[in-house]
Amino acid sequence: MVNIVLRLANPFVSPSPQNTQSEMVLSYLALRVSVGVIGMLLPWVLLIGNWALGDGSQTSMSGYYYTPMRNVFVGALCALAIFLVAYKGYDLADTTITNIAGAATIGVAFCPTTPQDGTGHQVVIGDLHLAFAGVAFVMLAVMALRFAKREPTPPGLTFWRQVGYAFGFTGSASSDRPLWKTVLYRVCGFVILAAIALIYPVSLVWGYALLALEMIILTAFGLSWFVKGGKLLAGG
């Protein structure tokens, strides 16, 4: 409280290193929460917004590119991509994963899905869209799983043990993170992977399967990021 009063009294006083560090931590957490909020809300905003505008529903989130919600769809994906690229993880692997996810998300935004009766050029662009979406979805699952990581990978592990550590299956170390958070991150990661695997077979029998599974994927992804950055929730 004293620091706030002093800053208001003399705004030209440079902030202390401790205050600067605290602000950076809060900004970092806010970035995580922002990613989570966008991920969880985007499918519902597209669905409800397009319905409210009288344009009905689409069979996939990508289909909203050809509706009045196009700008919301593209804008939200671009914002999400920027957040992912700006995010710096615990190590090079984390940063690389989020950078790949961000780049793939940009690809999803600017390479629209193939419209009905699309031309040859649009089909090629649509194939690129599917490829980018596949990469992005897999990276979302990997991110959620890696959030469960509780300690650095120690040297001398076998290959498969290193793989386990890379995907968040680590020891408890000295982390004071509640167990429910570790479980939640792993559940979110496996839910995303399961939804990806179900897209093709379920789409053969249900027209809205892709939309429903995409909503599950983004909800699980957003939830993991929201909890990871939640300042009001105890633990780390």
Q: Letter for the amino acid at 12? A: F
In this prediction, residues 5-14 reach a mean pLDDT of: 39
Q: Using one digit for the tens of pLDDT, what is the confidence trace for 163-181? A: 777 777 776 655 677 888 8
* The pair of three-digit structure tokens given for residue 168, joined into one six-digit string: 């968040």
Q: Using one digit for the tens of pLDDT, what is the confidence trace for 114-139? A: 998 889 999 999 999 999 999 999 99
Q: Per mean pLDDT, which of 23-32, 158-167, 189-198 is the most reliable?
A: 189-198
How far is the C-alpha of 189 from the C-alpha of 142, rounded, in Å?
Answer: 7
Nearest CA to 148 among 191, 127, 179?
179
How far is the C-alpha of 23 from the C-alpha of 31, rounded, in Å?
Answer: 12
Q: Are 113 and 62 in contact (CB under 8 A)?
A: yes
Nearest CA to 211 among 47, 75, 56, 37?
47
pTM given for the model: 0.82
